[in-house]
Amino acid sequence: MEQRRSGGLERFDVIIIGLGAMGSAAACHLARRGQRVLGLDRFAPPHALGSSHGQTRIIREAYHEHPAYVPLVQRAYELWSELERQTGRTLYRKTGGLMIGNPGGPVVDGAKRSAKEHSLAHEVLSAAEVRNRFPALQPADGMVAVWEPRAGILFPEICIDAHLTIARMQSADLRGDEPALSWVDEGDDVKVITSKGAYQAGQLVLTAGSWNPSLLQGFKLPLAVERQVQFWFEPKHPVHFQPERCPIHIWEHESGRFFYGFPDLGEGVKVARHHEGEIANPNSIRREVLPEDVEAMRRVVRRFLPDADGPMRSAVVCMYTNTPDSHFFIDRHPAQPQVLIASPCSGHGFKFSSVIGEVLADLVSEKRTRFDLSLFRNRFHG
Ligand SMILES: Cc1cc2nc3c(=O)[nH]c(=O)nc-3n(C[C@H](O)[C@H](O)[C@H](O)COP(=O)(O)OP(=O)(O)OC[C@H]3O[C@@H](n4cnc5c(N)ncnc54)[C@H](O)[C@@H]3O)c2cc1C
């Protein structure tokens, strides 16, 4: 699409910095609405250097973090199926899901609360019932589980590629290997300076994941980047880990300590601890996996998934970008209202990326959205 020029610079309606999970979805929704979109990424997405790689992500509905996420995830499910129809690609696989822990803990009680508040299909199972129905999973006596039938797996690299494909088909100008270095407020416009040039737009969307803090220009959001390792182990009893017999599972295995896992989709049994990683800088994070990373993971696997304790097939480092309360941050820059900041992570954002793309498109093109974002508004006053 021919772009207008302003003062010698290419001019767009909106520039998106970061084309990972959130930026690719925003580009797709904005381009569909006829906005002239420039999308920039420091690498060539989908890539394995941010927060959206590792082949699988959990999607679930009985949201233990807060019932306010349920309407968003319900819309996300609709948008993922729409994207599947449009691209002819498989983005989601239903497995059902188990939230496991001690009664009264945040995972179990939170899932029950969301299920009740939103009348979602669910069952509460004892530890023995879990062990009988899903022999891969060995919760201790006294633990309980909330079963939800609609949970499953998204394929993140394919999802991002699908959003980027539709965005390009709708004439979005998407450029990889072009990091944005800074942006400048120019009255009604914003100028973005990159490694290759400068561009102008009416609005700017910051979806740079773990690099968002470096682009906030004076606004101090308390975002912390955390190193996380994803592992794939060879199962000792492969039949127990087939997707028909092994749903996705999230555990509070000790008070305040969490891990999660997937069935074996052919690459081995994927597991990871949730949090407990070191605080990192995205430009210098330790990408190699250390023996102590493997040992910490195996300790949990041996106890609760003993049949997954075979040889390690692979492991990869990824990044969470955490807010202090683990809820997303989606709001305008306090000093620059034409700049929208989206940091929907804290380790649980991927499933929402389809709907976050829609929400960002609403905010850019209509200045409002039908979704309740009150949990995600600026509450830090940095
Ligand atoms: C190990 C792990 C497991 C997870 N499991 C789940 C799960 O099961 N379910 C779930 O829902 N969520 C999960 N999450 C969270 C989810 O993956 C993230 O919330 C989500 O991927 C964040 O997307 P994003 O778009 O913010 O970041 P990213 O996808 O990382 O995108 C940011 C993009 O910005 C680009 N960028 C950075 N700086 C610049 C710049 N200056 N100029 C241009 N481009 C730039 C980067 O290259 C990158 O492509 C998990 C995360 C991790 C790390």
pLDDT digits over 278-301, tens only? 999 999 999 999 999 999 999 999
pLDDT of residue 119: 98
146, two tokens: 């909330």
Kind plus residue range of the DSSP H or E element containing 254: strand 248-254
What's the mean pLDDT in 223-235?
A: 98
22: pLDDT strictly greater than 60: yes
pLDDT of residue 294: 98
pLDDT of residue 4: 63
CA distance 305 to 298: 9
Helix (H, G, I), strand (E, B) or coil at 146: strand
5: pLDDT strictly greater than 80: no
CA distance 215 to 208: 8
* Given the residues 28, 159, 246, 318, the one annotated as active site: 318
Which residues does ligand 1 sit against, CB inside 6 Å? 17-23, 40-43, 45, 50-52, 54, 57-58, 179-180, 207-209, 211, 228, 230, 272, 318-320, 344-345, 347-351
Helix (H, G, I), strand (E, B) or coil at 32: helix
13: pLDDT strictly greater than 90: yes
Please report, as a single letter, which amino acid is at residue 28.
C
- pLDDT level of residue 91 (50, 70, 90 thresholds): very high
Write the CA distances from 151 to 63, 111, 133, 186, 295, integer angstroms.
10, 12, 17, 45, 29
CA distance 237 to 243: 13
21-32 vs 156-169: helix crossing angle, rounded to 10: 30
353-365 vs 21-32: helix crossing angle, rounded to 10: 50
100, two tokens: 């496991």
pTM above 0.85, yes or no: yes
Sign of the Cα pseudo-torsion (322, 326, 330, 336, in order)? negative
- pLDDT level of residue 6 (50, 70, 90 thresholds): low
DSSP annotation of 215:
G
Q: Under a CB-based contact definition with an 8 Å cutoff, are residues 340 and 364 in contact?
A: yes
Q: Kindly list the strands in the beta sheet with 269-274, ordered across the sheet, starting from the edge strand earlier in the chain.
A: 123-126, 144-148, 97-101, 248-254, 257-261, 269-274, 224-233, 312-322
pLDDT of residue 1: 47
In the reported structure, the alpha carbon of residue 324 is separated from the centroid of ligand 1 by a whole-number distance in angstroms of: 18
For a pocket test of ligand 1, which of 289, 345, 360 has the largest count of ligand atoms closer than 8 A to its C-beta?
345
Q: Is 313 one of the catalytic residues? A: no
138: pLDDT strictly greater than 90: yes
pLDDT tens string 106-134:
999 999 999 999 999 999 999 999 999 99
How many beta carbons lie within 10 A of that of residue 185, not counting itself?
A: 16
pLDDT of residue 82: 98
Residues linked to residue 299 through DSSP beta bridges, in sequence order: none
* Given the residues 36, 249, 253, 270, the one annotated as active site: 270
Q: Is 56 one of the catalytic residues? A: yes
Kind plus residue range of the DSSP H or E element containing 196: none
Measure the CA angle with vertex 193, ends 190 and 198; round to 5°. 85
**Helix, strand, coil share of the chain (percent; to 5):** 30, 30, 40
Q: Is 274 one of the catalytic residues? A: yes
pLDDT of residue 343: 98
